[in-house]
Amino acid sequence: MFGGIDPGLLIASLMVASVPIILAAIGELVVERAGVLNLGVEGMMIMGAVCGFIASVQTGSAVLGFVGGALGGAALALIFAVLTQFLLANQVASGLALTLFGLGLSSLLGQGFVGIRPPATEALPFGPLAESPFFGRVIFGHDWVVYLSIASVAVAWWVLKSTRLGLILRAVGENHDAAHALGYKVRRIRVLAILFGGAMAGLGGAYVSLVRVPQWTDGITAGAGWIALAIVVFAAWRPWRALIGAYLFGGISVLQLNLQAAGARIPVEYLSMSPYLITIVVLVIMSSGKGKAALNAPANLGQTFHASR
Amino acid sequence: MNRRTLLATAALGLGLAFGGVANAQAMDKAKACFVYVGPIGDLGWSYQHHQGALAVQEAYGDKVEVTWQENVPEGADAERVLTQMALSGCNIIFTTSFGYMDATNAVAAKFPNMKFEHATGYKREQPNVATYNARFYEGRAIQGHIAGKMTKSNKIGYIGSFPIPEVIMGINSYYLHAKKVNPAVELTVVWAFTWFDPAKEADAAKAMIEQGVDVIASHTDSTAPLAEAAKANGAVIGFGQASDMADYKPSPRVSSIIDNWAPYYVKRVGEVLDGTWTQTDVWAGIKDGEVEIGEITDAVPAEVKAEAEAMRDAIAAGTYHPFTGPIKKQDGSDWLAEGAVAPDGDLLGMGFYVEGITADIPK
Amino acid sequence: MLRLEKRPSPSRFWQGMTPVLAVVLTMIAGGVMFAALGKDPVEAIRTIFWDPLFNAQFASYSRPQLLVKAGPLILIAIGLSLGFRAGIWNIGAEGQYIMGALAGAGVGLAFYPAQHWGIFPLMVLAGALGGWVWAMIPAILKTRFNTNEILVSLLMVYIAQNILSSMSLGLLRNPEGGGFPGSRNLSQYPSASNPELIAGTGMHWGVIAAFMAVIAAHILLQRHILGFHIKLAGQAPRAARFAGVNPTGLVLLCMGISGALAGLAGLFEVAGPAGQISIDFNVGYGFTAIIVAFLGRLNPIGILLAGLLMALTYIGGELAQFMLGLPAAAIQAFQGMLLFFLLAVDLLSNYRVRLGAKVEAA
């Protein structure tokens, strides 16, 4: 069944395909760990895509493009932060409104940039290492953002698990009243987490418009933000599981196209729904396991915090 | 009998009375309206229709008021948008997506004095509804010829959106003409099962390249497949789709199919102004400039380029039809006899591959 | 320094005034955006909010269309709101909407071309059942395997979309459609159609169902023990367990109701305004309804009003596009602003804004 598909090439392309989802998912994971549910990932991603594209075309630099993308995503996240943290608005509705607003605004901003080719983001020069079989493609054949996406998972894991910052962040997400009583600035921490989430979603969006496609058209992220949201839940709010989830989803998406290209005798209509189906099945298997896999959503996820005393 | 059918009957009566020419009066100023299924900024299907609308404004200046609405979903919303447009006093409304077919006819029944032009459909239930389409398969024939000559691996690819007749027609035309110049050629089709997901198109192109495909045509409108091909440093070529995609010249983009609706739109709005508009069903191609073949670059050898241009000119002159027999269906049964030319009806409802394609059409 | 003080109970005055305030603020902010795009802001605002209701040229048509557009939004939002109140997150109403439409249309088309009064009621049942079944999948996975319903219901939307395209290209394709995708048009098949009941009012069975759902939900939440359980489960899950609320039953019930209502919305839409199954049949009602549910503060009457307001911005936005040449994106951004302001000023009904020094750092 896998005849004719080179596993090295497959792994290399699923790593690239998953980058936008990993970046956005890690951002959202940190936000949710701080107890905030921001459903506006798609909106922040597409703002990142358009701002990144504009920045890189204007400056001629792909790197500055990613900086612009992160800023664009964070700027939109700031609206969400003001609404939910200062004006105490409902988080679910604010997040969905953010997506609506982001889709509209990105299209307005991008009007003059349709049909332009942005500056290229090249693979990092690993020299002869990139020529080696299998590992050359899988480990040494990528652009810097791919490595950044993996590094962001490692850093998020380390910070959440082993640092004071991570401890405070989790405390805020698990019990904001207690955290407040201990003297932590619940609102400030949550605002910073939201901005971080926006910046990461923006980076992911910029990767779509600068590397994956690369061009600007309306609606270019095509739902990747929703998948990132699903991956956070899939991961049970743990960074490495988010990486696994994104690679699983990205891998099946790429694999089904490869199977088509290799002429596999599996009906295409089943193949094209397989990434969603298999993700559900894997989640069911993982969450039905005994004990450990209990779904540890942050206890205060989505709840409004107001210091009444 | 509800209100809609009552009005429809009345309209039919009117249409008969005027012999199909509902209103043969010249006018000084006309309002032309356009409905797009996607955003104008999609750089593909809707973008090209909007270029046609802008050409109408350009051609007639003050004599024509052009308005449009983008992002109109097919179905319930389309009927409302069309009705509101008609109420605003449009003289002619261009509905530019297949899914507007029933809505166009329903609204046309309520506004018998207005002209409706529906792209890519076949229903003309009212005398004030005309249909138009473009023979994109003519462009696919030229791409197929270039593909057959240029491929080194003898593997060519095609990224499809959904398995509908329009797309299947393109695949068949592409394959037939590649096969004609290179009998060893094999076709790989990958279905994206979406109209719009540029990142998925990139993955589809990449999957094909990894399978050794070195010429990629796509029926989706983004530049993602070309960008993917560009990474292969000249080993893989592709074509611009819907718009020229000139940024990827001279390679990997070696040619393109450009949807050019401007000539038709300018002509039809002109007929409304003159009062000579009649119900028609137009399926125009290279000859009328509706399907444009973008510049064939120097990445293609001069001799192949000359052949491709000769084919283009033959199609334009009407001396060559891309579907000329003998052609068999995939299952080996006969479709077109020696020298026979495919009837338009067969093409418009095409639900089969031609002989030699190994994959199945998904359901 | 500004300080917020929680009101003991929401202010009646501000509950009524906040939507008005939000609309005014949106008009100002939106006006600035429209002016920046080079359009007359006053005219743009008037076209969006006034013309669909009172413009002589459009109103007689647009006003009933408000009901047509708001109907499915309200119907779905009512179902979702019950679950949201109980802390059950069904965000896959879009998929349930699709499956309801497929099941209902499938039943109708199976009888084609027979004429019988019983066909449409059967389709309604099938539509509700289709949505219900699709919602039961995440519900059962949750109760049986503790699988997160947010994820499953969301991913089921994509699967439903794939089934939809497969159906419109295969099983349900119109055999007389010349190979084109899409089913027969149900509005041209009287026994299976959901027509406008009284000409010029926009009322069809879906709108009536939406009104009935509003009333039923209102009674359920105000008068029925079940409504009390739902509210209790959301506000104090532990207390709910002591009060004898069965969490498994509640998940199945809330997911089932929201799925069935979303399925009904899909059926009424496919048999009425949309007319047929096609690849692009769904247009995001299932997601917009989540916004409507929260805008209406999960309250049935609030949802009714929120649905109508959303419908107004859609229809007014369409008018603004082709009358004034505003891009669709500007309308989308404008809707986003309206939602932001509605959500933001809600603060005033629950909190008092006080001037003065902070008692303790917030």
B264-288 per-position pLDDT tens digit = 999 999 999 999 999 999 999 999 9
Is C59 at the interface with chain B, CB within 8 A?
A: no
CB contact under 8 A, A218 and B39: yes
According to the model, what pLDDT value does residue B24 have? 57
B188 interaction partners in chain A (CB closer than 8 Å): 260-261, 263
Cα Rg of chain C, angstroms: 22
Three-state DSSP state, B38: coil
Q: What angle do CA B272, B273, B275 make, to 5 degrees?
A: 60
Above 70 in pLDDT, residue B337? yes
CB contact under 8 A, B188 and A222: no
Q: Over the stretch B169-226, which tens digit does the pLDDT of each residue have?
A: 999 999 999 999 999 999 999 998 888 888 899 999 999 998 999 999 998 888 889 9
Q: What are phi and psi of B300, to 5 degrees?
A: -95, 130
Picking from A18, A217, A255 by the largest number of B CB atoms within 10 A of its own CB, the best residue to mutate is A217
CB contact under 8 A, A230 and C290: no
Picking from A86, A280, A281, A285 by the largest number of C CB atoms within 10 A of its own CB, the best residue to mutate is A280
pLDDT band at C1 (very low <50, low <70, confident <90, very high): low
A13 interaction partners in chain B (CB closer than 8 Å): 203, 206-207, 210
CB contact under 8 A, C281 and B76: no
Residues 270-299 of B with CB under 8 A from A: none
Above 70 in pLDDT, residue B244? yes
For the structural domain made of A7-293, what CATH number should be given? 1.10.3470
Above 50 in pLDDT, residue B7? no
Chains that touch C (3 or more CB pairs under 8 A): A, B
According to the model, what pLDDT value does residue A284 have? 87
Q: Which of A10, A212, A257 sits opposite B204 (nearest CB)?
A: A257
According to the model, what pLDDT value does residue A289 have? 67
Q: What is the mean pLDDT of residues B317-334?
A: 93
Above 90 in pLDDT, residue B259? yes
C196 interaction partners in chain B (CB closer than 8 Å): 2-3
Is B211 at the interface with chain A, CB within 8 A?
A: yes
Q: Over the stretch C171-211, which tens digit does the pLDDT of each residue have?
A: 898 888 777 888 898 888 888 888 888 888 888 999 999 99
ipTM of predicted assembly, 2 dp: 0.90
CB contact under 8 A, B203 and A254: yes
C166 interaction partners in chain A (CB closer than 8 Å): 269
**Chains A, C: CB contacts under 8 A, how many?**
144
The pair of structure tokens assigned to A79 is 């609206």
CB contact under 8 A, C37 and A108: yes
Above 70 in pLDDT, residue C270? yes
pLDDT band at B13 (very low <50, low <70, confident <90, very high): very low
The separation between the first and the last C-alpha atoms of chain B, rounded to the nearest angstrom, is 37
Is B47 at the interface with chain A, CB within 8 A?
A: yes
CB contact under 8 A, B75 and C280: yes
Is C57 at the interface with chain B, CB within 8 A?
A: yes
CB contact under 8 A, C318 and B73: no
Residue ranges and CATH numbers for the domains of chain B are 3-134 (3.40.50.2300), 136-258+291-348 (3.40.50.2300)
Above 70 in pLDDT, residue B23? no
| Ranges under pLDDT 70 in chain A | 1-3, 289-295, 308-309
Q: Which of B39, B44, B210 sits opposite A6 (nearest CB)?
A: B210
Average pLDDT taken over every residue of chain B: 89
Instruction: Give CA–CA dist B18/B161, Å, rounded.
Output: 42
Q: Which amino acid is at C203?
A: M
According to the model, what pLDDT value does residue A129 have? 76
Whole-angstrom CA distances from B68 to A111, B53, B81, C283, C318 are 16, 8, 10, 20, 10
According to the model, what pLDDT value does residue B152 have? 95
Q: What is the largest CA-CA distance in chain C?
A: 76
pLDDT band at C357 (very low <50, low <70, confident <90, very high): low
Chains that touch A (3 or more CB pairs under 8 A): B, C
pLDDT band at B327 (very low <50, low <70, confident <90, very high): very high
- Does residue C163 contact residue C102 with C-beta atoms inside 8 Å? yes
Is B295 at the interface with chain C, CB within 8 A?
A: no
pLDDT band at B22 (very low <50, low <70, confident <90, very high): very low
Above 80 in pLDDT, residue B20? no
Please report the beta strands in chain B, taking only residues with DSSP state E, as ranges in sequence order. 30-35, 64-69, 92-95, 115-119, 129-134, 155-160, 186-191, 215-218, 237-242, 253-259, 281-284, 291-294, 327-328, 334-336
Strand partners, B240: B256
Picking from B45, B65, B80, B161 by the largest number of C CB atoms within 10 A of its own CB, the best residue to mutate is B80
CB contact under 8 A, C336 and A185: no
Q: Which of B83, B88, B164 sits opposite C323 (nearest CB)?
A: B88
pTM of the model: 0.91
Above 60 in pLDDT, residue B19? no
A272 interaction partners in chain B (CB closer than 8 Å): 191, 193
Picking from A87, A216, A279, A288 by the largest number of C CB atoms within 10 A of its own CB, the best residue to mutate is A87
CB contact under 8 A, B2 and C273: no
- Quick one: which of A173, A203, A232, A295 has its CA closest to A25? A232
CB contact under 8 A, B210 and A261: yes
Picking from A2, A208, A213, A255 by the largest number of B CB atoms within 10 A of its own CB, the best residue to mutate is A213
Q: Over the stretch C149-178, which tens digit does the pLDDT of each residue have?
A: 888 999 999 999 999 999 998 889 888 877
* % of chain C residues with pLDDT over 70: 98
Above 80 in pLDDT, residue B18? no
